[in-house]
Structure 1
Amino acid sequence: MKKFLLLLLTVGVLQGCTGGTQSSVEPQTPPATTQPETPSTQPETPAPSQPQTPAEKPPAAEQPESSEGVYANDIFRKVTVKKTGDDTFEVKGQAQVFEGTVSYVVEDGHNELTTGSIQTSAGAPEWGDFTHTVKVKKADPNTTLMLILFETSMKDGSRRMELIIPLPEK
């Protein structure tokens, strides 16, 4: 009986040492600490002294794409706004939106002055061109009008991917 218990104890200890896995034991060697080779014909470039952080960049919705007055984000590109009359503005650009429908609202910071939708020449995943004239009058002369382009979510009706553009004064 003592031999049987000793045998069980030995088997239990051996199984505990192997972790219960049935894999071959390979000797572990520490990884070599070598640096990657660089071509000797190219000089090393020093790291930038101050790396850019995401906080230093303006948000994509407010960042002009290539020049002043051209706006873009993930679903809008090449969007420009030009004042064509006292209370009229021409909006042009491209959008990649569901069924080619761009929604918009013009607000003065406190009130929504006008809302509507624009039909593009193509629906997503294609980029569709659009041109639209917005007629809106300021309620208060000391306010700045903001045009907000967005895609209306078919899931819950919320605004998706807003592009906020200040309307030009002149």
Structure 2
Amino acid sequence: MKKMLLLLLTIGLLQGCSSGTDSPSTPTEQQKPPVATKPETPTSEPPATTQPTTPEKPPTNQTGQQETVYGNDIFRNVTVKKTAQDTYEIKGQASVFEAVLNYVVEDGHNELTQGSVQASTAAPDWGDFTHTLKVKKAEPNSTLTLILFETSMKDGSRRMELIIPLPE
């Protein structure tokens, strides 16, 4: 048994010594540090920000005004149009768990309304959604803000909020 162990140690030492003599003095491709490359981003999805994104040619509504298109990692092509006094139409696409997206409308101080909307398809696919929202300002000089988000199944917190000012 001792002879076998000694033989294996000798073979291991010889292999270790011989492999170092044949290697070149310059680093090999595996030893060189990797070159930083810019990650590829899909062209069909919006950038991963919570800031509004606008297309090259924004659509126009009936009054001739341009609509702003909003998006982030889980929402895209979201538009908000005022259809009547205190009534807004929200359209877009969402990639959310069980196709449920939540919203809150606030005026900077108070939450005026909240609810949820069902998209046509759940994540990882993009489902379409449309919702008519009726909300009245508590103060006449306030600005209403719509916040779209997904509720975390882990702890119930808001995930990936998309903040949209409602048109006057």
Give the TM-score taking structure 2 as reference length. 0.68
Q: Show the counterpart of 1:51.
A: none
User: Could you give the per-residue CA deviations for residues 134-167 of structure 1, whole angstroms, max 9, x where no partner exists?
Assistant: 1111111121110000000111100001110000
Q: In 2, are the aligned partners of 1:75 and 1:95 still within 8 Å (CA)?
A: yes
Secondary structure, aligned partner of 2:84: coil
Q: Show the counterpart of 2:116.
A: 117
Q: Show the counterpart of 2:95.
A: 96
Q: Show the counterpart of 2:143.
A: 144
Secondary structure, aligned partner of 2:16: coil
User: Could you give the per-residue CA deviations for residues 80-112 of structure 1, whole angstroms, max 9, x where no partner exists?
Assistant: 000011101000001000111010000011110
Q: Show the counterpart of 1:127.
A: 126
**1:59 CA drift (Å):** 7.7
Q: Show the counterpart of 2:83.
A: 84
Secondary structure, aligned partner of 2:98: helix
Q: Show the counterpart of 2:53.
A: 64
Q: Residues of 2 paired with 1:65 and 1:75: CA distance?
A: 16
Query: What CA RMSD, in Å, does the superposition of the two structures yield over aligned residues?
Result: 2.3
Give the TM-score taking structure 1 as reference length. 0.67
**1:23 CA drift (Å):** 3.6
**1:22 CA drift (Å):** 2.9
Tell me the amino acid that sits aligned with residue 72 of structure 1: G
Aligned residues with identical type, % of pairs: 67
Q: Residues of 2 paired with 1:133 and 1:64: CA distance?
A: 22
Which portions of structure 1, spanning 4 or more consecutive aligned residues, are displaced by more than 3 angstroms? Answer: none
Q: In 2, are the aligned partners of 1:105 and 1:116 still within 8 Å (CA)?
A: yes
User: Could you give the per-residue CA deviations for residues 3-60 of structure 1, whole angstroms, max 9, x where no partner exists?
Assistant: xxxxxxxxxxxxxxxxxx93423265346xxxxxxxxxxxxxxxxxxxxxxxxxx982
Secondary structure, aligned partner of 2:108: coil
Q: In 2, are the aligned partners of 1:76 and 1:93 still within 8 Å (CA)?
A: yes
Q: Which has the higher Rg, Structure 1 or Structure 2?
A: 1
Q: Residues of 2 paired with 1:59 and 1:122: CA distance?
A: 21
Secondary structure, aligned partner of 2:93: strand
Tell me the amino acid that sits aligned with residue 149 of structure 1: L
Could you list the runs of 5+ residues in structure 2 that have no partner in the other structure?
A: 1-14, 28-46, 59-66
Q: 1:30 to 1:123 in 2, by over 3 A?
A: closer
Q: How many residues align?
A: 125
Q: Residues of 1 paired with 2:149 and 2:106: CA distance?
A: 14
Q: In 2, are the aligned partners of 1:65 and 1:77 still within 8 Å (CA)?
A: no
Q: Show the counterpart of 1:10.
A: none
Q: In 2, are the aligned partners of 1:96 and 1:123 still within 8 Å (CA)?
A: yes
Q: In 2, are the aligned partners of 1:119 and 1:130 still within 8 Å (CA)?
A: yes
Q: Show the counterpart of 2:162.
A: 163
Q: Residues of 2 paired with 1:60 and 1:115: CA distance?
A: 23
Tell me the amino acid that sits aligned with residue 147 of structure 2: I
